[in-house]
Amino acid sequence: MNPQIRSKQIEQIVVTAEQMRNIEERIFSAGIPVAALMEKVAGKITQRIKNLFLEKSITPEHKIGILVGPGHNGGDGLVVARELYFMGYNIVIYSPFLKRKELTQTHYKYVQSLGINLSSNIKELEQCDVLIDGLFGFGLEREITGEIAEDINIINHWNKFVISIDLSSGIHTDTGEILGTAIRANITLCLGLWKPAFLQDTGLDYIGRAELIDFDIPLMDINAIIGESPILNRITQNTAINSLPLPRPANHHKYKNGHLLIIAGSKQYTGAAILAGLGARASGVGMVSIAVPNSIKPLLSLQLPEALIIGCPETENGAILELPENLDLSRYQTIVCGPGLTLEAQAIMERIFTANCAIILDADALNILAQLNPVFTLSSRKFPTIITPHLGEFKRLFPELIALEKNQIKLAKQAAELTGAIIVLKGARTCVATANQVWINPDSTPALGRGGSGDVLTGLLGGLLPPVILAKKPIELIVNTAVWWHSQAGILAARERTELGVDAYTLTQYLILALTQSLKTIN
Protein backbone atom coordinates (compact mmCIF):
# COMPACT_ATOMS: atom_id res chain seq x y z
CA MET A 1 0.00 0.00 0.00
CA ASN A 2 1.09 3.55 -0.75
CA PRO A 3 2.60 4.88 2.53
CA GLN A 4 0.76 8.20 2.15
CA ILE A 5 -2.60 6.47 1.75
CA ARG A 6 -1.87 4.25 4.73
CA SER A 7 -0.84 7.25 6.85
CA LYS A 8 -4.13 9.01 6.08
CA GLN A 9 -6.08 5.91 7.11
CA ILE A 10 -4.11 5.50 10.33
CA GLU A 11 -4.73 9.15 11.30
CA GLN A 12 -8.47 8.49 11.15
CA ILE A 13 -8.55 5.37 13.35
CA VAL A 14 -9.32 5.43 17.09
CA VAL A 15 -9.14 2.35 19.31
CA THR A 16 -10.04 1.57 22.89
CA ALA A 17 -7.54 0.09 25.34
CA GLU A 18 -9.01 -3.39 24.84
CA GLN A 19 -8.86 -3.08 21.06
CA MET A 20 -5.24 -1.92 21.22
CA ARG A 21 -4.33 -4.90 23.41
CA ASN A 22 -6.03 -7.28 20.95
CA ILE A 23 -4.26 -5.70 17.98
CA GLU A 24 -0.89 -6.06 19.70
CA GLU A 25 -1.68 -9.69 20.56
CA ARG A 26 -2.32 -10.38 16.87
CA ILE A 27 1.04 -8.84 16.00
CA PHE A 28 2.86 -10.92 18.61
CA SER A 29 1.00 -14.09 17.57
CA ALA A 30 2.08 -13.47 13.98
CA GLY A 31 5.69 -13.78 15.08
CA ILE A 32 7.21 -10.43 15.99
CA PRO A 33 8.92 -10.66 19.41
CA VAL A 34 7.76 -8.22 22.08
CA ALA A 35 11.36 -7.15 22.56
CA ALA A 36 11.77 -6.37 18.85
CA LEU A 37 8.61 -4.26 18.78
CA MET A 38 9.71 -2.37 21.90
CA GLU A 39 13.05 -1.56 20.28
CA LYS A 40 11.32 -0.32 17.14
CA VAL A 41 8.77 1.80 18.99
CA ALA A 42 11.31 3.24 21.43
CA GLY A 43 13.61 4.04 18.51
CA LYS A 44 10.86 6.10 16.87
CA ILE A 45 10.11 7.81 20.19
CA THR A 46 13.78 8.64 20.66
CA GLN A 47 14.08 10.15 17.19
CA ARG A 48 11.00 12.31 17.77
CA ILE A 49 12.28 13.43 21.18
CA LYS A 50 15.64 14.28 19.65
CA ASN A 51 13.88 16.49 17.09
CA LEU A 52 11.83 18.10 19.83
CA PHE A 53 15.04 18.82 21.73
CA LEU A 54 16.38 20.59 18.64
CA GLU A 55 13.20 22.66 18.45
CA LYS A 56 13.51 23.58 22.14
CA SER A 57 17.31 24.10 22.03
CA ILE A 58 17.84 21.25 24.50
CA THR A 59 21.48 20.15 24.27
CA PRO A 60 23.50 17.33 25.90
CA GLU A 61 24.51 19.81 28.59
CA HIS A 62 20.91 19.82 29.83
CA LYS A 63 19.78 17.20 32.34
CA ILE A 64 16.98 14.84 31.21
CA GLY A 65 14.81 13.07 33.76
CA ILE A 66 12.99 9.90 32.73
CA LEU A 67 10.10 8.49 34.76
CA VAL A 68 9.94 4.70 34.49
CA GLY A 69 6.93 2.58 35.39
CA PRO A 70 6.69 -1.18 35.98
CA GLY A 71 5.15 -2.13 32.63
CA HIS A 72 6.11 -1.91 28.99
CA ASN A 73 5.60 1.85 29.01
CA GLY A 74 8.45 1.90 31.51
CA GLY A 75 10.40 -0.40 29.19
CA ASP A 76 9.95 2.13 26.37
CA GLY A 77 11.21 4.81 28.74
CA LEU A 78 14.31 2.78 29.61
CA VAL A 79 15.20 2.18 25.95
CA VAL A 80 14.76 5.91 25.29
CA ALA A 81 16.98 6.63 28.31
CA ARG A 82 19.65 4.28 26.98
CA GLU A 83 19.63 5.79 23.49
CA LEU A 84 19.71 9.38 24.76
CA TYR A 85 22.59 8.40 27.04
CA PHE A 86 24.53 7.05 24.04
CA MET A 87 23.87 10.38 22.29
CA GLY A 88 25.63 12.11 25.15
CA TYR A 89 22.69 13.42 27.17
CA ASN A 90 22.88 13.66 30.96
CA ILE A 91 20.22 11.16 32.10
CA VAL A 92 18.54 10.65 35.47
CA ILE A 93 16.06 7.78 35.80
CA TYR A 94 13.31 7.88 38.42
CA SER A 95 11.94 4.37 39.03
CA PRO A 96 9.88 4.02 42.23
CA PHE A 97 8.72 0.44 41.59
CA LEU A 98 10.40 -2.67 42.98
CA LYS A 99 8.59 -5.11 40.66
CA ARG A 100 8.67 -4.74 36.89
CA LYS A 101 7.59 -6.80 33.89
CA GLU A 102 10.32 -9.19 32.75
CA LEU A 103 11.33 -7.25 29.64
CA THR A 104 11.26 -3.93 31.50
CA GLN A 105 13.44 -5.43 34.24
CA THR A 106 15.94 -6.61 31.61
CA HIS A 107 16.28 -3.07 30.26
CA TYR A 108 16.53 -1.75 33.81
CA LYS A 109 19.50 -4.03 34.53
CA TYR A 110 21.24 -2.89 31.38
CA VAL A 111 20.92 0.87 32.04
CA GLN A 112 22.08 0.12 35.57
CA SER A 113 25.20 -1.54 34.14
CA LEU A 114 25.87 1.60 32.08
CA GLY A 115 26.15 3.64 35.25
CA ILE A 116 23.14 5.84 34.48
CA ASN A 117 21.86 7.61 37.58
CA LEU A 118 18.94 5.54 38.94
CA SER A 119 16.80 6.70 41.84
CA SER A 120 13.44 6.15 43.55
CA ASN A 121 13.62 9.63 45.07
CA ILE A 122 11.60 12.22 43.15
CA LYS A 123 13.90 15.02 44.35
CA GLU A 124 16.62 13.68 42.02
CA LEU A 125 14.56 15.07 39.13
CA GLU A 126 14.21 18.58 40.49
CA GLN A 127 17.29 19.89 38.68
CA CYS A 128 16.31 18.31 35.35
CA ASP A 129 15.50 20.58 32.42
CA VAL A 130 13.13 18.14 30.69
CA LEU A 131 11.11 15.20 32.01
CA ILE A 132 10.04 12.19 29.93
CA ASP A 133 7.03 10.42 31.40
CA GLY A 134 7.06 6.64 31.00
CA LEU A 135 5.20 5.71 34.18
CA PHE A 136 1.93 4.33 32.78
CA GLY A 137 0.78 3.89 29.19
CA PHE A 138 -2.62 2.96 27.81
CA GLY A 139 -4.88 0.68 29.83
CA LEU A 140 -4.51 2.21 33.30
CA GLU A 141 -7.82 1.88 35.17
CA ARG A 142 -7.01 2.12 38.86
CA GLU A 143 -6.72 5.41 40.69
CA ILE A 144 -3.18 6.59 41.44
CA THR A 145 -2.70 7.02 45.18
CA GLY A 146 -0.02 7.11 47.86
CA GLU A 147 3.57 8.11 47.20
CA ILE A 148 3.25 7.88 43.41
CA ALA A 149 0.37 10.35 43.49
CA GLU A 150 2.36 12.66 45.75
CA ASP A 151 5.36 12.48 43.41
CA ILE A 152 3.20 13.27 40.37
CA ASN A 153 1.78 16.30 42.16
CA ILE A 154 5.32 17.44 42.98
CA ILE A 155 6.28 17.13 39.30
CA ASN A 156 3.26 19.17 38.25
CA HIS A 157 4.16 21.81 40.83
CA TRP A 158 7.64 22.15 39.30
CA ASN A 159 6.04 23.16 36.01
CA LYS A 160 8.82 21.63 33.90
CA PHE A 161 8.68 20.77 30.20
CA VAL A 162 7.25 17.23 30.07
CA ILE A 163 6.97 14.74 27.21
CA SER A 164 4.67 11.78 27.91
CA ILE A 165 5.05 8.43 26.18
CA ASP A 166 1.76 7.03 24.80
CA LEU A 167 -0.54 8.77 27.28
CA SER A 168 0.00 11.18 30.12
CA SER A 169 0.29 8.96 33.20
CA GLY A 170 -2.92 8.94 35.23
CA ILE A 171 -5.43 9.36 32.40
CA HIS A 172 -8.02 6.70 31.62
CA THR A 173 -7.48 5.59 28.01
CA ASP A 174 -11.14 5.32 27.04
CA THR A 175 -12.76 8.16 28.98
CA GLY A 176 -9.99 10.73 29.46
CA GLU A 177 -10.86 10.71 33.18
CA ILE A 178 -8.15 11.76 35.62
CA LEU A 179 -7.50 8.77 37.86
CA GLY A 180 -6.81 10.61 41.09
CA THR A 181 -3.99 12.65 39.62
CA ALA A 182 -2.04 12.74 36.36
CA ILE A 183 1.15 14.06 34.82
CA ARG A 184 0.58 17.42 33.18
CA ALA A 185 2.43 17.01 29.88
CA ASN A 186 3.37 19.61 27.30
CA ILE A 187 3.55 17.01 24.54
CA THR A 188 2.15 13.48 24.45
CA LEU A 189 3.42 10.97 21.91
CA CYS A 190 0.54 8.56 21.28
CA LEU A 191 1.84 5.16 20.18
CA GLY A 192 0.51 3.25 17.17
CA LEU A 193 -3.11 4.36 17.05
CA TRP A 194 -5.12 7.19 18.56
CA LYS A 195 -7.00 6.49 21.79
CA PRO A 196 -10.33 8.04 22.92
CA ALA A 197 -8.66 10.01 25.75
CA PHE A 198 -7.10 12.30 23.14
CA LEU A 199 -10.55 13.16 21.78
CA GLN A 200 -12.48 14.12 24.89
CA ASP A 201 -12.51 17.35 26.83
CA THR A 202 -11.74 15.74 30.20
CA GLY A 203 -7.98 15.17 30.01
CA LEU A 204 -6.90 17.73 27.42
CA ASP A 205 -5.20 19.99 29.97
CA TYR A 206 -2.93 17.07 30.91
CA ILE A 207 -2.17 15.80 27.40
CA GLY A 208 -0.86 19.02 25.90
CA ARG A 209 0.00 18.82 22.22
CA ALA A 210 -0.67 15.34 20.89
CA GLU A 211 1.34 13.58 18.20
CA LEU A 212 0.99 10.08 16.79
CA ILE A 213 4.02 7.77 16.59
CA ASP A 214 3.11 5.35 13.81
CA PHE A 215 5.04 2.09 14.19
CA ASP A 216 3.64 0.34 11.11
CA ILE A 217 0.82 -1.76 12.52
CA PRO A 218 -0.57 -3.73 9.54
CA LEU A 219 -4.03 -2.54 8.51
CA MET A 220 -5.20 -6.16 8.27
CA ASP A 221 -4.56 -6.57 12.00
CA ILE A 222 -6.39 -3.34 12.80
CA ASN A 223 -9.37 -4.21 10.60
CA ALA A 224 -9.52 -7.71 12.08
CA ILE A 225 -10.24 -6.16 15.48
CA ILE A 226 -12.25 -3.01 14.71
CA GLY A 227 -13.77 -3.90 11.33
CA GLU A 228 -13.76 -2.11 7.98
CA SER A 229 -16.21 0.56 9.24
CA PRO A 230 -15.05 1.38 12.77
CA ILE A 231 -17.44 2.93 15.25
CA LEU A 232 -15.02 5.58 16.46
CA ASN A 233 -13.12 7.87 14.06
CA ARG A 234 -11.12 11.10 13.92
CA ILE A 235 -12.12 13.82 11.50
CA THR A 236 -9.04 14.57 9.42
CA GLN A 237 -8.26 17.20 6.82
CA ASN A 238 -8.36 14.52 4.17
CA THR A 239 -11.79 13.13 5.12
CA ALA A 240 -13.24 16.62 5.57
CA ILE A 241 -12.12 17.98 2.21
CA ASN A 242 -12.97 14.80 0.31
CA SER A 243 -16.58 15.19 1.44
CA LEU A 244 -16.94 18.61 -0.18
CA PRO A 245 -18.85 18.62 -3.50
CA LEU A 246 -15.73 19.70 -5.40
CA PRO A 247 -14.92 20.29 -8.15
CA ARG A 248 -18.29 21.54 -9.33
CA PRO A 249 -19.42 20.65 -12.86
CA ALA A 250 -19.11 23.42 -15.43
CA ASN A 251 -22.87 23.53 -15.97
CA HIS A 252 -23.78 24.09 -12.30
CA HIS A 253 -26.05 26.97 -11.37
CA LYS A 254 -27.65 28.27 -8.18
CA TYR A 255 -30.54 25.82 -8.21
CA LYS A 256 -28.19 22.85 -8.46
CA ASN A 257 -26.24 24.23 -5.49
CA GLY A 258 -29.34 24.17 -3.34
CA HIS A 259 -31.56 26.48 -1.33
CA LEU A 260 -31.25 26.98 2.42
CA LEU A 261 -33.79 28.57 4.75
CA ILE A 262 -32.55 30.04 8.02
CA ILE A 263 -35.14 30.88 10.67
CA ALA A 264 -33.37 32.99 13.25
CA GLY A 265 -33.02 36.24 15.10
CA SER A 266 -35.07 38.58 17.24
CA LYS A 267 -34.91 42.25 18.15
CA GLN A 268 -32.69 41.26 21.09
CA TYR A 269 -30.46 38.88 19.10
CA THR A 270 -30.20 40.34 15.62
CA GLY A 271 -26.54 39.35 15.35
CA ALA A 272 -27.30 35.62 15.61
CA ALA A 273 -29.27 35.69 12.36
CA ILE A 274 -26.55 37.73 10.64
CA LEU A 275 -23.78 35.39 11.79
CA ALA A 276 -25.68 32.29 10.67
CA GLY A 277 -26.22 33.96 7.29
CA LEU A 278 -22.53 34.82 6.98
CA GLY A 279 -21.61 31.23 7.82
CA ALA A 280 -23.98 30.00 5.11
CA ARG A 281 -22.51 32.51 2.63
CA ALA A 282 -19.07 30.89 2.97
CA SER A 283 -20.47 27.43 2.22
CA GLY A 284 -21.14 28.15 -1.43
CA VAL A 285 -24.84 27.24 -1.22
CA GLY A 286 -26.82 28.41 -4.26
CA MET A 287 -29.44 30.47 -2.46
CA VAL A 288 -30.08 31.57 1.13
CA SER A 289 -33.40 32.73 2.49
CA ILE A 290 -33.53 34.10 6.04
CA ALA A 291 -36.79 34.43 7.98
CA VAL A 292 -36.56 37.10 10.70
CA PRO A 293 -38.91 39.41 12.62
CA ASN A 294 -40.13 42.28 10.42
CA SER A 295 -38.41 44.90 12.58
CA ILE A 296 -34.88 43.62 11.87
CA LYS A 297 -35.38 42.80 8.19
CA PRO A 298 -33.54 45.97 7.00
CA LEU A 299 -30.46 45.08 9.08
CA LEU A 300 -30.25 41.64 7.50
CA SER A 301 -30.66 43.07 4.00
CA LEU A 302 -27.76 45.45 4.68
CA GLN A 303 -25.38 42.72 5.88
CA LEU A 304 -26.45 40.00 3.41
CA PRO A 305 -27.59 41.69 0.22
CA GLU A 306 -27.53 38.43 -1.76
CA ALA A 307 -29.93 36.68 0.65
CA LEU A 308 -33.72 36.64 0.36
CA ILE A 309 -34.92 38.18 3.61
CA ILE A 310 -38.39 37.09 4.72
CA GLY A 311 -40.12 39.33 7.23
CA CYS A 312 -42.26 37.57 9.85
CA PRO A 313 -44.94 38.79 12.27
CA GLU A 314 -43.41 39.32 15.69
CA THR A 315 -44.26 39.32 19.36
CA GLU A 316 -44.28 42.41 21.55
CA ASN A 317 -40.70 41.62 22.54
CA GLY A 318 -39.51 41.35 18.95
CA ALA A 319 -39.37 37.56 18.48
CA ILE A 320 -40.86 35.68 15.52
CA LEU A 321 -44.52 35.07 16.26
CA GLU A 322 -45.18 32.81 13.29
CA LEU A 323 -43.94 32.11 9.80
CA PRO A 324 -45.83 33.68 6.90
CA GLU A 325 -48.68 31.45 5.77
CA ASN A 326 -47.51 31.57 2.16
CA LEU A 327 -43.99 30.40 3.02
CA ASP A 328 -43.58 27.11 1.14
CA LEU A 329 -41.13 24.96 3.12
CA SER A 330 -40.93 22.41 0.29
CA ARG A 331 -38.77 24.88 -1.68
CA TYR A 332 -35.78 24.20 0.56
CA GLN A 333 -33.43 21.25 0.85
CA THR A 334 -32.42 22.30 4.38
CA ILE A 335 -33.92 24.45 7.12
CA VAL A 336 -31.83 25.91 9.95
CA CYS A 337 -33.78 26.98 13.00
CA GLY A 338 -32.71 28.44 16.31
CA PRO A 339 -30.00 31.11 16.49
CA GLY A 340 -31.32 34.12 18.41
CA LEU A 341 -34.98 33.01 18.28
CA THR A 342 -35.77 33.29 22.03
CA LEU A 343 -38.22 30.92 23.71
CA GLU A 344 -41.16 32.99 22.46
CA ALA A 345 -40.80 31.40 19.02
CA GLN A 346 -42.25 28.07 20.17
CA ALA A 347 -45.19 28.22 17.74
CA ILE A 348 -42.98 27.93 14.67
CA MET A 349 -41.33 24.72 15.87
CA GLU A 350 -44.35 22.52 15.19
CA ARG A 351 -44.38 23.67 11.60
CA ILE A 352 -40.66 23.06 11.21
CA PHE A 353 -40.92 19.49 12.49
CA THR A 354 -43.41 18.65 9.70
CA ALA A 355 -41.12 19.95 6.92
CA ASN A 356 -40.26 17.36 4.27
CA CYS A 357 -36.56 18.20 4.23
CA ALA A 358 -33.46 18.13 6.42
CA ILE A 359 -33.57 20.40 9.46
CA ILE A 360 -30.82 21.67 11.75
CA LEU A 361 -31.78 22.73 15.27
CA ASP A 362 -29.53 24.97 17.34
CA ALA A 363 -29.65 27.36 20.29
CA ASP A 364 -33.21 28.37 21.23
CA ALA A 365 -34.71 25.72 18.95
CA LEU A 366 -33.01 23.20 21.25
CA ASN A 367 -34.24 24.97 24.36
CA ILE A 368 -37.78 24.86 22.97
CA LEU A 369 -37.33 21.21 22.02
CA ALA A 370 -36.25 20.44 25.59
CA GLN A 371 -39.65 21.63 26.82
CA LEU A 372 -41.38 19.12 24.56
CA ASN A 373 -40.55 15.43 24.38
CA PRO A 374 -37.15 15.49 22.63
CA VAL A 375 -36.73 11.77 22.04
CA PHE A 376 -40.28 11.25 20.72
CA THR A 377 -40.26 14.45 18.64
CA LEU A 378 -36.92 13.74 16.98
CA SER A 379 -37.50 10.02 16.43
CA SER A 380 -40.87 10.77 14.78
CA ARG A 381 -39.26 12.67 11.90
CA LYS A 382 -38.83 10.84 8.59
CA PHE A 383 -36.29 13.29 7.16
CA PRO A 384 -32.72 13.99 8.30
CA THR A 385 -32.48 15.94 11.54
CA ILE A 386 -29.31 17.41 12.99
CA ILE A 387 -29.06 18.97 16.44
CA THR A 388 -26.02 20.97 17.57
CA PRO A 389 -26.07 21.26 21.37
CA HIS A 390 -23.25 22.24 23.67
CA LEU A 391 -23.10 20.20 26.89
CA GLY A 392 -25.50 22.47 28.79
CA GLU A 393 -28.15 22.19 26.07
CA PHE A 394 -27.52 18.44 25.84
CA LYS A 395 -28.23 18.10 29.57
CA ARG A 396 -31.57 19.85 29.14
CA LEU A 397 -32.47 17.63 26.18
CA PHE A 398 -31.34 14.29 27.62
CA PRO A 399 -31.14 14.52 31.43
CA GLU A 400 -31.68 10.77 31.77
CA LEU A 401 -28.52 10.07 29.76
CA ILE A 402 -26.42 12.56 31.71
CA ALA A 403 -27.50 10.89 34.94
CA LEU A 404 -26.01 7.58 33.80
CA GLU A 405 -23.02 8.55 31.69
CA LYS A 406 -20.27 11.19 31.62
CA ASN A 407 -18.31 10.06 28.56
CA GLN A 408 -19.21 12.56 25.82
CA ILE A 409 -18.59 10.04 23.04
CA LYS A 410 -21.01 7.54 24.55
CA LEU A 411 -23.49 10.31 25.36
CA ALA A 412 -23.62 11.53 21.78
CA LYS A 413 -23.94 8.03 20.35
CA GLN A 414 -26.69 7.04 22.80
CA ALA A 415 -28.65 10.19 21.93
CA ALA A 416 -28.28 9.38 18.23
CA GLU A 417 -29.49 5.83 18.83
CA LEU A 418 -32.53 7.06 20.77
CA THR A 419 -33.58 9.78 18.35
CA GLY A 420 -32.32 8.78 14.92
CA ALA A 421 -30.89 12.31 14.65
CA ILE A 422 -27.30 13.28 13.92
CA ILE A 423 -25.89 14.71 17.13
CA VAL A 424 -23.23 17.40 16.99
CA LEU A 425 -22.10 17.66 20.61
CA LYS A 426 -20.01 20.83 20.70
CA GLY A 427 -16.97 21.25 22.91
CA ALA A 428 -13.19 21.45 22.86
CA ARG A 429 -13.39 18.20 20.90
CA THR A 430 -16.69 18.37 19.04
CA CYS A 431 -18.31 14.98 18.54
CA VAL A 432 -20.55 14.02 15.58
CA ALA A 433 -22.62 10.92 16.23
CA THR A 434 -25.04 8.76 14.29
CA ALA A 435 -26.57 5.55 15.58
CA ASN A 436 -23.72 3.59 13.96
CA GLN A 437 -20.62 5.78 14.05
CA VAL A 438 -18.95 8.59 15.94
CA TRP A 439 -16.53 11.13 14.48
CA ILE A 440 -14.50 13.51 16.63
CA ASN A 441 -12.80 16.71 15.59
CA PRO A 442 -9.26 16.53 17.06
CA ASP A 443 -8.27 20.13 16.37
CA SER A 444 -9.78 23.29 17.75
CA THR A 445 -8.85 26.39 19.71
CA PRO A 446 -10.09 28.03 22.91
CA ALA A 447 -10.32 31.19 20.82
CA LEU A 448 -13.68 29.85 19.59
CA GLY A 449 -15.06 30.11 23.11
CA ARG A 450 -16.91 33.36 22.39
CA GLY A 451 -20.57 34.14 21.81
CA GLY A 452 -21.76 33.70 18.25
CA SER A 453 -19.24 31.14 17.02
CA GLY A 454 -21.91 28.42 17.26
CA ASP A 455 -24.24 30.50 15.05
CA VAL A 456 -21.51 30.60 12.41
CA LEU A 457 -21.13 26.81 12.54
CA THR A 458 -24.87 26.30 12.21
CA GLY A 459 -25.06 28.54 9.15
CA LEU A 460 -22.02 26.91 7.56
CA LEU A 461 -23.46 23.44 8.11
CA GLY A 462 -26.84 24.54 6.78
CA GLY A 463 -25.24 25.85 3.61
CA LEU A 464 -23.17 22.72 3.00
CA LEU A 465 -26.13 20.33 3.12
CA PRO A 466 -28.37 21.35 0.15
CA PRO A 467 -25.99 20.45 -2.73
CA VAL A 468 -25.17 17.14 -1.03
CA ILE A 469 -28.87 16.39 -0.61
CA LEU A 470 -29.59 17.31 -4.23
CA ALA A 471 -26.79 14.96 -5.30
CA LYS A 472 -28.51 12.25 -3.21
CA LYS A 473 -25.35 11.57 -1.21
CA PRO A 474 -25.19 10.62 2.49
CA ILE A 475 -25.06 13.71 4.68
CA GLU A 476 -23.12 12.37 7.67
CA LEU A 477 -19.66 13.16 6.31
CA ILE A 478 -20.53 16.72 5.26
CA VAL A 479 -21.50 17.38 8.89
CA ASN A 480 -17.94 16.40 9.84
CA THR A 481 -16.66 18.76 7.15
CA ALA A 482 -18.56 21.70 8.64
CA VAL A 483 -17.22 21.01 12.13
CA TRP A 484 -13.65 20.67 10.85
CA TRP A 485 -13.85 23.73 8.57
CA HIS A 486 -15.26 25.91 11.35
CA SER A 487 -12.46 24.92 13.73
CA GLN A 488 -9.76 25.47 11.10
CA ALA A 489 -11.03 29.00 10.56
CA GLY A 490 -10.84 29.58 14.31
CA ILE A 491 -7.31 28.18 14.50
CA LEU A 492 -6.14 30.37 11.61
CA ALA A 493 -7.80 33.49 13.04
CA ALA A 494 -6.30 32.82 16.48
CA ARG A 495 -2.85 32.33 14.98
CA GLU A 496 -3.01 35.63 13.12
CA ARG A 497 -4.74 37.52 15.91
CA THR A 498 -4.92 36.22 19.48
CA GLU A 499 -6.04 33.13 21.36
CA LEU A 500 -7.74 35.41 23.86
CA GLY A 501 -10.67 34.98 21.55
CA VAL A 502 -11.82 35.38 17.99
CA ASP A 503 -15.10 37.26 17.71
CA ALA A 504 -17.72 35.52 15.58
CA TYR A 505 -17.80 38.17 12.86
CA THR A 506 -14.03 37.91 12.38
CA LEU A 507 -14.41 34.12 12.32
CA THR A 508 -16.73 34.37 9.30
CA GLN A 509 -14.04 36.33 7.46
CA TYR A 510 -11.54 33.47 7.91
CA LEU A 511 -13.78 30.66 6.64
CA ILE A 512 -12.85 30.96 2.97
CA LEU A 513 -9.18 31.61 3.74
CA ALA A 514 -8.95 28.52 5.96
CA LEU A 515 -10.46 26.28 3.30
CA THR A 516 -8.29 27.76 0.55
CA GLN A 517 -5.12 27.10 2.53
CA SER A 518 -6.19 23.54 3.32
CA LEU A 519 -6.99 22.79 -0.31
CA LYS A 520 -3.48 23.93 -1.27
CA THR A 521 -1.84 21.63 1.28
CA ILE A 522 -3.90 18.59 0.34
CA ASN A 523 -3.25 19.07 -3.36
Q: List binding-site positions for K(+).
A: 73, 133, 169
The answer to whether the beta carbons of residues 362 and 263 sit under 8 Å apart is no
The answer to whether the beta carbons of residues 260 and 482 sit under 8 Å apart is no
Q: Residue by residue, what is the 3-state secondary structure of 194-245?
A: ECHHHHCCCCHHHHCEEEEECCCCCHHHHHHHHCCCCCEEECCHHHHHHCCC
Extract the annotated binding site for (6S)-NADPHX: 72-76, 137-143, 166, 272, 340, 390, 455
Listed residue (416, 359, 410, 408) closest to 386, CA to CA = 359
Q: What's the length of the chain?
A: 523
Listed residue (326, 330, 273, 327) closest to 296, CA to CA = 273
Q: How far apart are CA 23 and CA 69, in angstroms?
A: 22
The answer to whether the beta carbons of residues 374 and 399 sit under 8 Å apart is no
Burial class of residue 147 in the structure, from the number of CB atoms within 10 Å of its CB (0-12 exposed, 13-18 middle, 19+ buried) = exposed
Extract the annotated binding site for AMP: 426-430, 454
Q: How far apart are CA 513 and CA 502, in angstroms?
A: 15
Sheet of 117-119: strands edge to edge? 117-119, 90-94, 63-68, 130-134, 161-165, 187-191, 209-213
Extract the annotated binding site: 72-76, 133, 137-143, 166, 169, 272, 340, 390, 426-430, 454-455
